[in-house]
A and B are shown apart, each in its own frame.
Chain A
Amino acid sequence: MSLAQPESIEDIKARNKALIKEVLEVYPEKTAKRRAKHLNTFEDGKPDCGVKSNIKSIPGVMTIRGCAYAGSKGVVWGPIKDMIHISHGPVGCGQYSWASRRNYYIGTTGIDTFGTMQFTSDFQEKDIVFGGDKKLAKLIDEIQELFPLNKGISVQSECPIGLIGDDIEAVSKAKTKEYNGHTIVPVRCEGFRGVSQSLGHHLANDAIRDWVFDKMEGKPALFEPTPYDVAIIGDYNIGGDAWSSRILLEEMGLRVVAQWSGDGTIAELEATPRAKLNVLHCYRSMNYISRHMEEKYGIPWVEYNFFGPSKIEESLRKIASHFDDKIKEGAERVIAKYSPLMDAVIAKYRPRLEGKKVMLFVGGLRPRHVIGAYEDLGMEIVGTGYEFGHNDDYQRTTHYVKDGTLIYDDVTGFEFEKFVEKIQPDLVGSGIKEKYVFQKMGVPFRQMHSWDYSGPYHGYDGFAIFARDMDMAINSPVWKFAKAPWAA
C-alpha cells in the first residue's frame, strides 16, 4: 500500500490538504467543521501552526486524551516519592494509573517512599450518598498509623468528589493541624474538569503554590544557598530522564537543589524558592509554577531541551548564560567531554536511519522537543501534533518543524490511522493506545510517553539509548514478515 512519495514542498502541501479534506468527509457536518480547525499544514514564516488547540474533544470520536486527574496525580504529584497520594473516589482511576508512568525513584517503597503504590478511598455507594469527608479523615489517620515515615499526603480528587460537594480542603486543614503541620494537599483535579490532562497540571501547580509554598513560611532551610543553585522543573524522571539530565548540570558546576517531580521529595519542593534559576523542561505542565516563582520570589526560569546533542549543546549554553564564567566554562567542558560519545553514536546509527520519515503524536512537549534528536540522526519529521498542547506550544513548535509538516491537534483514532496509512512514515512515535494499531499496519513504532519501557532519553547518556531504540524499531527484521510471501 505504499504510495509514491510527493517530491516538492508544494506537492507535500497539496497532498496534506487533500488528506485533511478526505478525513473530514467521514464526519457529520458539525463535527467536520469543528475538526477542521485542528488540522493543517505548517507554513514557513507563520507565527503558529495554524491549528486551534486546548478545546473540548468531540464526543464519540476516540480522542487519545486523558483527564485532569491524570494530569495531577499521574503527572505532577504522583512522582513526589515521600508523599502518599490518595486517589480519592472509586477504585479505577488509581488502579489504571498505578506505576504505569515509570517515574523512577530511589527509596524503600512502602516504608519511606510510596511512588509505585496505589492508595485509594475506594468509594462505595454509601460514600456517594452520604459524602466522603469522614472516610477521608479516617483514612488519613490510618495512613499516619501505618506509614509513619510519610512526609506528606495529597488528596487527588476523582470525578465524584466535586459532584457530591465534599469539602476536602476542610478535612485537609483539620488534619494538618491535628498532625502538627503535616503537609496535606487537597487537589481539585476531578476528571470532568477542563478538556484534557492539561488543566490537571495547572491545578496541581496551583496546589503546590497554595498548600506547599504558602504553608512553609518560617520553616528553616535545609542547606546554605550557593550562587549556583538551580532546580530542575518539569522532568518526571521517566526511565531515569531527570538523572541523566541532573548529572550534566552538576558536571558543569551547578548545584541541583530540587527535582520536580521525578524522584522528588517534599523537601525539594520547599527548597525551590531558594534556587537562583529554575530550569524548565516540560513547559506545558510546569510553566505555571515557574511563572509564580518568578513573580513571588524573583527566580528567573529558562526553558531547555535535553533531547539530542544539538539541542543539549544549545541548552547547556543557554542555562550557563545565566551564570558567571565558571559555569560557562563548565558548559563548554561538558559539551567537549561528551562530543566524542555523540560522534560515535551518530556514526553508528545515522547511516541506518538517514532520511527516515517520522510521525509523532504525544502530549504537551515532546511533539516538538524530540524533533532535534531525530534530526541529529538524519531523520525527518513529516507530521506532529499535541494531545493537550495550547497555542503557546504550537507557537514554539514553529522553531522545530519544517515547511509542509502535517499538524494534527487532539487527533482522533480515525484521523491518525488515515494519515499514517497515506503518508507511510518509517516510524510512528505515540502512546500505548496507538502502538499496536500501527504495528498491525506494519509500521515501526516507539512509545514516546514511556520510552517503550526503555530510557532514559534525556541528556547525552540518554541520546545513545534513543538512537539505539529508534534503530531497533525501524530496522527490526520483523517488518519484512508482515506480508505472507504467497499473499497478493
Chain B
Amino acid sequence: MPQNADNVLDHFNLFRQPEYIEMFEKKKREFENHAPDAEVERVREWAKTKEYQEKNFAREALTVNPAKACQPLGAVFASLGFEQTIPFVHGSQGCVAYYRSHFSRHFKEPTSCVSSSMTEDAAVFGGLNNMIDGLANTYNMYKPKMISVSTTCMAEVIGDDLNAFIKTSKEKGSVPQEFDVPFAHTPAFVGSHVTGYDNVMKGMVEHFWNGKAGTAPKLERVPNNKINFIGGFDGYVVGNIREVKRMFDSMGVEYTIFGDPSDVWDTPTDGEFRMYDGGTTLEDAANAIHAKATFSMQHFSTEKTLPLIAESGMETYSFHHPIGVRATDEFLMKVSEVTGKPISKELTRERGRLVDAIADSSAHLHGKRFAIYGDPDLCYGLAAFLMELGAEPITVLASNGGKAWEEKMNQLFASSPFGKNCKAYPGKDLWHMRSLLFTEPVDFLIGNTYGKYLERDTGTPLIRIGFPVFDRHHYHRYPVWGYQGGLNVLVWLLDKVFDEIDRNTNVVAKSDYSFDIIR
C-alpha cells in the first residue's frame, strides 16, 4: 500500500508507486486502443523536423496554443484601474467567471466583476432588460462610484447598443442620471486583450473629457504642469505602477496615473476584504485633460486611446514596455524634457547600479540565444534589453502582433549587431514556436506559464516573464520598469543561466569539475 499517514503522498509521488504504474499500463494495453509505441515515437520525431515545420507554418485556419486572450479580458483590466469601479460585462455570464479566474490565478488576488447574464431570450430580444436590471443590482449591492461597461462577443454579434442601453437604463432609474457609466464595445473576435484594454481606456477618455455621452458639457482644456501616465495591459502592474510613482516622486514630477489597479490587486490580509482599493479617482480622470502630455508605456496597448487624447490638444508619447538601461533612459529623458524636471540624483545612481550589475554579469549572457513570446510591447522591451546585454533575441513571437509590430521589431534588430540573426513572427502561436525551437534552437526561452510545455517538449529552459504566470508566485509584485525593474529582469535571467550551468555540470566524476562555487 503506497499511502501512509506519517508521510502522506499526493499526486507528485503517489502515482509513481508500483501499484499505480501497473494499473496505468494495464489500462493502456487493454482499453485505450493506443497507437503502437513505435508509431508514437515516429510521429514525435517527425514533429521536430523542418518538413513538419513547413506544414505547421502553412496553417491557415487552425490556431494551437495561442499567446493571446480576448478583448473583454483587457477591458476588465482597464476598468479595475479606477477608484471604486466595478467592471460590468454585457453578455454571457460564463465569460466573467473566466476573466475573474484568470486574473485571480495570476495575481493570487480576488477580482470583482459582474455580468449582465444574457441567455437565449436575450439572444433573441437583445439584452436591454439585462442591462436595466443588472445596473440596478450592481449599483445597490456593491455601492460603486462608477460602473464600467464592456461587452462579450455575444452582445456584439446580436448588435446591442451600449450607449442607447445605458441611456435607457438611466431613464428607468437603474442608476442616477449623473452616475458615471463609461462604456466600450469590446468584441472578442477583433484583436486581443490589449485591444480591449485600449478600447476601455479610450472609452474612459471619451466619457470624462468629451461630455459623458452627451449628458454633461465637454471639458475645456486648461493646460497645467501635470503629465498623465498610462501603463497598458501589464502582468507586472502591481510592481510597475509603484515603481513609476516612485520615479516620478523622486523627480518631483506632478502626474496622474490614468488607470491604476496596483492597489486593488495587492490588498493586505488583515481581516477585511476590500472589494475596492486605490485606483485613479474620477476627479483625476476628468482633470487629466488639463495635463501637459500623456505618456503611454505600451504603444500597442493604446493605439486608439492616444490619438483621442491628442485631439484634446496635448502631446502624447508612447514607448514599447521599456526595460533596461537605454529604454529607461529614453523614457526618463522624455519625462524630464516635457516636465522640465531634471532626472534626480537618486535615479542617476540607480542607473549606475544597473550598469554596474550588467558589467558584473554580462559575460554570462553575452552571445546567448533567446526566443521570446508575449504581448507586442513586452516582446520589444525584452528584446531590446537582451541586445544591450549582448544577447541575441533570435526568435520573437507575438500572437497578437501585426505588420506594424513586425516593422518595429525589424528596426530594432537592425539597430545592433546583436539583432543580425533575429526574426519577428507576428500572428503566430506557440505550436509554431515549438517547431522553431526544434529547427533553430536557442539557449533560453522567455514567456508566460504556458511556455513550460515548450520547455518540456524541446528542452529549452524557460524564464517566466509575461502574463499569465500561474505556476510561480508573486513576481507581479516586482517591477520590470525603471532601473530597479531592469535589475529584477537581469537577476531572473541570470538565475536561470546559472541554474542551467549547474544542472549541466553536476554529474559526479563526469562533469563536476565545472561545478564551480564561484561564477
A164 close to chain B: CB less than 8 A: yes
Docked-complex contact B43 and A240, CB < 8 angstroms: no
Residues of chain B within 8 A (CB-CB) of A138 are: 60-62
Q: Find chain A residues with CB under 8 A from B213 CB.
A: none
Q: Which of B27, B35, B116 has the most CB of A within 10 A?
A: B27
B66-A118 in contact (CB<8A): yes
Residues from chain B with a CB closer than 8 A to the CB of A348 are 5-6
Residues of A within 8 A of B101 (CB): 96, 100, 431-433
Contact A414 B141 (CB under 8 A): yes
Judged by a CB distance under 8 angstroms, whether A54 is at the interface is: no
Q: Is A246 on the interface with B (CB-CB < 8 A)?
A: yes
Set of chain A residues within 8 Å of B114, measured between Cβ atoms: 59-62
B136 x A28 contact (CB < 8 A): yes
> Which one, B28, B61, B187, contacts A106 given CB within 8 A?
B28
In chain A, residues 237-255, which have Cβ atoms closer than 8 Å to a Cβ of chain B? 239-240, 243-244, 246-247, 250
State the total of A-B contacts with C-beta under 8 angstroms. Answer: 354
Check if A27 is an interface residue, CB within 8 A of chain B: yes
Tell me which residues from 103 to 129 in chain B have a Cβ below 8 Å from any Cβ of chain A: 104-105, 108-120, 122-123
B residues less than 8 Å from A431 (CB atoms): 101
A123 nearest CB neighbor, chain B only: B189
Binds A, one of B153-161, B293-301, B314-322, B363-371: B153-161
Q: Does B15 interact with chain A (Cβ within 8 Å)?
A: yes
A interface residues, how many (CB within 8 angstroms): 130
Check A142/B10 contact, CB under 8 A, given A69-B94, A109-B453, A118-B66.
no
On chain A, the residues within 8 Å of B19 by CB distance are 247
Tell me, in angstroms, the Cα distance from A146 to B56 when the chains sit together. Answer: 7
Among residues of A, the one whose C-beta sits closest to the C-beta of B273 is A440
Q: How far is the CA of A410 from the CA of B430 in the complex (A)?
A: 37
Q: Which of B43, B111, B268 contacts A111 (CB 8 A)?
A: B43
Contact status of A59 and B20, CB under 8 A, knowing A193-B120, A483-B270: no
CA distance A337 to B61 in the complex (A): 54
Q: Given A223-B30, A482-B269, is A110 in contact with B61 using a C-beta cutoff of 8 Å? A: no
Which of A30, A104, A143 touches B11 (beta carbons < 8 Å)?
A104
Question: Does A112 count as interface, using CB distance less than 8 angstroms?
Answer: yes
| Residue among A27, A91, A271, A338 with max Cβ neighbours from chain B (10 Å) | A91
A–B complex contacts, Cβ < 8 Å, 5 sampled: A95-B70, A120-B66, A146-B59, A441-B271, A461-B14
| A interface residue numbers (CB < 8 A to B) | 1, 26-28, 30-31, 56-70, 82, 89-93, 95-98, 100, 104, 106, 108-112, 116-125, 127-128, 135-136, 138-139, 142-143, 145-146, 148-149, 151, 158-160, 162-164, 191-195, 197, 222-223, 239-240, 243-244, 246-247, 250, 256-259, 263, 265-268, 271, 337-338, 341, 344-345, 347-348, 412-414, 417, 431-442, 454-456, 460-461, 464-465, 467-468, 478, 482-484, 487
The residues of B with any CB-CB pair to A shorter than 8 Å are 1-6, 8-11, 14-15, 19-20, 23-24, 27-28, 30-35, 39-40, 43-44, 47, 52, 55-56, 59-66, 68-73, 88, 91-95, 97-102, 104-105, 108-120, 122-123, 130-131, 133-138, 140-142, 152-154, 157-158, 187-190, 192, 267-274, 431, 434, 450, 453, 457, 470
